[in-house]
């Protein structure tokens, strides 16, 4: 076969250099049927590829860099359809966002465990001296900066939610941080970020015993999940928010109904740790 031309024969080494994959990775993808050689010499076992396979190999590399599972990559390659690719990537993004949300909660609990009462005392003293940490975002913020701000405000809200000695000033700060986080996610986030933001606002108001705004934002979270086909962790927690909000409102029947819906939705959550987290939150509601 000629070395030049649109379908020039490539060795596995040349394919590796052209695609950015290692030879080991290419052999692995061959074993699982993801990137088969164009031909294999029966006497030497040498693999040969064609030029059109370079882009396939590059696509696999790019998707693996985004932590896309191999099964999902196979679906994308087999379909060769932009609509299918978009659907698969949107589902992967939703799962990654859910995982990020769960990890954020763990990170804050770890920080609380590490910092302990000393950090709380320093924060209290700082506030008494007027050293508030309010952030005034630029009106010309870069998207990456705004995402960082949205995530930071989300984390700030979690820190305040987990405190047991909140002052009235802390409660005001918690409300403002939750709404500000949702505002900035509205500028740069995906629908799943908005659903989670509405869920957090609902949780804040439920913790403060304010049923009406808690119900409103829980319903907004559920609407976003339904409108955008968001399932898994986010959908289960939209139902969890409604259960919690109805309990605050004194409606135990509706609280029980939404708790059951949350449990059913939770059965479809892919990650075992996420299912356990949901179970713990539902047990805390206990209508």
Residue 220 has pLDDT above 90, yes or no: yes
**More confident call, 63 vs 7:** 63
Buried b (16+ CB within 10 A) or exposed e, 124-135: eeeeeeeeeeee
Judged by average pLDDT, the poorest of 40-54, 70-84, 101-115 is 101-115
Question: Is residue 117 classed exposed, middle or buried when 0-12, 13-18 and 19+ CB atoms within 10 A define those classes?
Answer: exposed
For residue 232, name the pLDDT band (cuts at 50, 70, 90). Answer: confident
CA dihedral over 96, 101, 106, 107, signed as positive or negative: positive
The DSSP-derived string for 157-193 is HHHHHT-SS--HHHHHHHHHHHHHHHHHHHHH--HHH
Per-residue pLDDT reduced to its tens digit, 35-68: 999 998 888 888 899 998 999 999 999 999 888 9
Q: What is the chain's mean pLDDT, rounded? A: 84
**Taking residues 17-29, what's their average pLDDT?**
91
* CB-CB neighbours of 248 under 10 Å: 20
Q: State residue 121's pLDDT score.
A: 60
Q: State residue 137's pLDDT score.
A: 43
Superfamily of segment(s) 90-285 = Tetratricopeptide repeat domain (1.25.40.10)
Strand segments, DSSP code E, in the chain are 9-11, 39-40, 47-50
What's the distance, Cα to Cα, between the start and end of the chain in Å?
A: 73
Per-residue pLDDT reduced to its tens digit, 180-210: 999 999 999 999 999 999 999 999 999 999 9
d(CA 284, CA 162): 14
Candidates 140, 136, 173, 139; CA nearest to 157 is 173
Q: Which two tokens stand for residue 136?
A: 């005034």
Enter the DSSP assignment of 67.
T
β-bridge mates for residue 48, sequence order:
11, 39
**More confident call, 164 vs 261:** 261
**More confident call, 104 vs 14:** 14
**H or E element that contains 202:** helix 191-207
d(CA 186, CA 178): 12
Q: Which two tokens stand for residue 268?
A: 């479809």
Q: State residue 123's pLDDT score.
A: 58
Which sequence spans correspond to the domains of the chain?
9-80, 90-285
CB 278 within 8 A of CB 258: no
Q: State residue 127's pLDDT score.
A: 52
Judged by average pLDDT, the poorest of 25-39, 130-144, 224-238 is 130-144
Per-residue pLDDT reduced to its tens digit, 111-165: 777 776 555 565 555 555 444 444 444 446 788 888 888 988 998 998 898 888 8
Q: State residue 120's pLDDT score.
A: 56
β-bridge mates for residue 50, sequence order:
9
For residue 26, name the pLDDT band (cuts at 50, 70, 90). Answer: very high
- CATH 1.10.1660.10 correct for 9-80: yes
Q: Which residue has the tokens 């590059």?
A: 58
Residue 79 has pLDDT above 90, yes or no: no
The DSSP-derived string for 230-281 is --HHHHHHHHHHHHHHHHHTT-HHHHHHHHHHHHHHHTT-S-HHHHHHHHHH
Residues in the chain: 287
Q: State residue 201's pLDDT score.
A: 97
């Amino acid at each position: 076969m000629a070395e030049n031309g649109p379908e020039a024969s490539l060795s596995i080494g040349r394919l590796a250099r052209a695609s950015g994959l290692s030879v080991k990775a290419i052999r692995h993808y061959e074993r699982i049927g993801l990137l088969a050689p164009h031909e294999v010499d029966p006497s030497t076992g040498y693999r040969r590829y064609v030029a059109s396979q370079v882009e396939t190999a590059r696509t696999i590399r790019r998707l693996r860099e985004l932590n896309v599972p191999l099964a999902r990559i196979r679906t994308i390659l087999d379909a060769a359809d932009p609509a299918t690719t978009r659907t698969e990537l949107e589902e992967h993004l939703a799962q990654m966002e859910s995982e990020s949300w769960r990890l954020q909660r763990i990170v804050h609990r770890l920080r609380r465990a590490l910092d302990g009462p000393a950090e709380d005392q320093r924060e209290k003293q700082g506030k008494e001296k007027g050293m508030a940490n309010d952030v005034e975002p630029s009106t010309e913020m870069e998207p990456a900066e705004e995402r960082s701000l949205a995530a930071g405000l989300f984390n700030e809200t979690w820190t305040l939610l987990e405190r047991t000695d909140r002052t009235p000033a802390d409660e005001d700060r918690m409300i403002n941080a939750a709404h500000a986080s949702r505002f900035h996610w509205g500028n740069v986030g995906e629908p799943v970020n908005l659903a989670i933001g509405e869920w957090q606002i609902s949780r804040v108001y439920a913790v403060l015993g304010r049923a009406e705004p808690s119900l409103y934002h829980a319903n907004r979270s559920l609407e976003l999940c339904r409108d955008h086909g968001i399932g898994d962790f986010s959908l289960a927690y939209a139902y969890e928010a409604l259960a919690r909000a109805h309990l605050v409102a004194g409606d135990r029947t509706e609280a029980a109904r939404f708790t059951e819906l949350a449990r059913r939705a939770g059965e479809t959550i892919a990650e075992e740790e996420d299912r356990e987290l949901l179970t713990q939150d539902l047990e805390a509601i206990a209508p």
